[in-house]
Amino acid sequence: MTSPTEEVQRGLQDVVALESRICFIDGKQGRLIYNGYDIRDLASKSNFEEVAYLLWYGRLPTTDQLATLRHHLIELRELPAAMAERIDSMPAGSNPMDILRTAVSELALFEPEETRPGPSSIGGAQRLTAVLPSIVGQFHRRRAGLPRLGTRPDLSHAGYLLYALLDREPTELESRVLDVALVLHADHELNASTFSARVTASTLSDLYSAVTSAVGTLKGPLHGGANERVMELLEEIGTPDRAEEVVKAKLSRHERIMGFGHRVYKVEDPRATILREWSRRIGEAKGDLHYYELLRKVEEVVHHEKGLYPNVDLYSGSVYGLLGIPTDLFTPVFATSRVAGWTAHVLEEYQDLRLIRPSAKYIGPTDLPYVPIKARV
Ligand code: COA
């Protein structure tokens, strides 16, 4: 057994924790690869269902394989009636990520056969991926006073999610924009939520527990919650001519500007490059380039002041906002995509399992005398 290294890597920065075939990030070149395929190709030529297949099985599907998966995901969309009622009984003012985390955890009670860890967890992976839009949609519809959701077998994962949230037919462009966003968010190597899913799975716990851990981790503003904060920043700035003043004031108070910087990318996040263009396209289609112009200005100022590049969250919020998705659902929408990556990583963990258990460098005392409680001050 090797002895732990004494050097602490805060935040596990630059620590290579495991081998994975799923995702590669080249932080210097600004490249993101899923199972060998460049994200730029996948975003322009593929779709969410195909990417989910790629992440789970390690190869692109044939026409038949994709058709089978699509059909299966649609079949798995429906929530158990008791679960839908449970969601309806949760406080309507809840944080949607709390609802999602609770619902994923509770769903396991309805589906005990899916909670055996191991290769059969592919069933749970597909079930959770199929059902997450239904959970998010059900919660939103209930709080908005909309009727229960039907399964809509004609709609893709992205189209169904939009239909559930907007309560109308999404246009082809709207479905395509969201589909691209879901492709871009489906995996990102050992990001915090995926790591937490793998840590949970590495104890031989089940997939539903692993995804519950991941949802809780994604909720944080330094991870999935950043795009919601970008929208708050845009509200605060208001017009492009105020961007410099507001950003500079924040930086002088040592505040972080959400949507900028990344632990791995040292150049522009390729997902930001792709979403910037889609933000412009959807803005043009809706006749509203307000967000796009504001974000371009913020980018200019932040780069000039701090040399920081945008990450995926800078433009995703504006895209979701223009699609009419409520701001507090941005992170749940992220989860409806990342669930494919989380579950692919959990399946990989089960195939090559080793308990993830790092060490801490102890910096406290070791020889304190025990003082009886009555003698303590
Ligand atoms: N705004 C302002 N300064 C930032 C910044 C940001 N968004 N991101 C990093 N920095 C600065 C830090 O203040 C630090 O400066 P210093 O050396 O003068 O103290 C330096 O850049 C390094 O930051 P550090 O926190 O060590 O980098 P990290 O790898 O831990 O941070 C993030 C990565 C993502 C947590 C960080 O960039 C951040 O908080 N970004 C905003 C949240 C966000 O957009 N998250 C979504 C990620 S996809």
Question: What one-letter code names the amino acid at 231?
Answer: M
> Cα 275 from chain centroid?
15
DSSP alpha helix (H) spans, 46-80: 48-57, 63-75
For 135-188, the pLDDT digits (tens) are 999 999 999 999 988 889 999 999 999 999 999 999 999 999 999 999 999 999
313 catalytic, yes or no? yes
**pLDDT score recorded for residue 151:** 85
For 261-273, the pLDDT digits (tens) are 998 899 999 999 9
CA separation for the pair 100, 224 (Å, rounded): 13
Q: Which of 140, 185, 188, 262 is catalytic?
A: 262
Q: Which ranges of the chain have pLDDT less than 70? A: 1-5
What SS3 state is found at 228?
A: helix
What is the phi-psi region of residue 110: left when phi exceeds 0, alpha when psi lies from -120 to 50, beta otherwise? alpha
223 catalytic, yes or no? yes
Distance in Å, CA 262 to ligand 1 centroid: 6
Q: Which of 38, 88, 98, 223 is catalytic?
A: 223
CA separation for the pair 175, 164 (Å, rounded): 12
CA separation for the pair 234, 218 (Å, rounded): 22
Distance in Å, CA 222 to ligand 1 centroid: 9
Joined together, the tokens standing for residue 349 give 């963990």
**pLDDT score recorded for residue 221:** 85
167 catalytic, yes or no? no
Joined together, the tokens standing for residue 305 give 């002041």
**pLDDT score recorded for residue 115:** 78
For 42-84, the pLDDT digits (tens) are 999 999 999 999 999 999 999 999 999 999 999 999 999 999 9
**pLDDT score recorded for residue 4:** 63
**pLDDT score recorded for residue 73:** 97
